[in-house]
A and B are shown apart, each in its own frame.
Chain A
Amino acid sequence: MVNMIIYITLGFMITGIFFAVLRFIKGPTAADRTVALDTLTTIAMALLVLLAFVFKRFIYVDVALVYGVLGFIGVLVIARYLEGAL
């Protein structure tokens, strides 16, 4: 039962990562690509927590924590550059 739920969640995450990368490659403007990077950061954070649960190694949660703390800084800098106020 738990394995079934984990597999379904992994399938959803693979689909999400695929479409986010597709939007990154296709996206016509720079804002599309920046939002795709932000979406990928969020999905990757959830995936890291799920992998920490699967492998039963709870040190892996720290990596997701670092992503949550630092992941927005790059997007913030790119957004300030696009605004023209960096």
Chain B
Amino acid sequence: MIIYIILLLFLLLLMIGTAIYSIVQRDLLYAVIGTGVISLILSILFLFLQAPDVALTEAAIGVALTTIVFIITIRNTVRFEEEPKRPSKPASK
């Protein structure tokens, strides 16, 4: 049974790593693919936690619907997120 706990922890670490990557990424297309990977691993985790119906819904919505909606949004807007502007220093008196 210990190997399933190892698999669970491994999947959790991978999901957190992918989420951090997807947050800090400036290219929004890569971030959308990252949400696809997160949803995939999350569905396996739901299955581990004895919730197959939630896993089924997560699979249907997270893999297909979210990716399509976000890709259409990127198509209609811009792909690259602009760098955050640093607040300019207040002028010296």
Q: Do A and B bind each other?
A: yes
> For the complex, is B78 an interface residue (Cβ under 8 Å from A)?
no
Which of B37, B56, B68 meets A24, CB within 8 Å?
B37
For the side of the interface on A, what is the size category? 35 or more
Which B residue's beta carbon lies closest to that of A43?
A: B40
A41 to B62, CA, bound (A): 12
Within 8 A of A (CB), among B39-83: 40-41, 43-44, 47-48, 52, 55-56, 59-60, 63-64, 67-68, 71-72, 74-75
CB pair A86–B75 under 8 Å, yes or no, is yes
> For the complex, is B7 an interface residue (Cβ under 8 Å from A)?
yes
CB pair B21–A66 under 8 Å, yes or no, is no
Give a binary string over B11-55; 1 marks a CB under 8 Å from any A CB, 0 the rest.
100100110010000010110111011001101100110001001
A44-B44, A48-B44, A81-B74 given as contacts; is B29 within 8 A of A7 (CB)?
A: no
In the complex, chain B residues whose CB is within 8 Å of the CB of A36: 37
The number of residues on chain B lying at the interface, defined by a beta carbon within 8 Å of a beta carbon of chain A, is 36
- The smallest beta-carbon distance between A16 and chain B, in angstroms, is 12
In the complex, chain A residues whose CB is within 8 Å of the CB of B7: 10, 14
In the complex, chain B residues whose CB is within 8 Å of the CB of A40: 37, 40
CB pair A44–B40 under 8 Å, yes or no, is yes
A81 to B27, CA, bound (A): 14
A47-B44, A63-B56 given as contacts; is B17 within 8 A of A21 (CB)?
A: yes
In the complex, chain A residues whose CB is within 8 Å of the CB of B59: 63, 66-67, 70-71
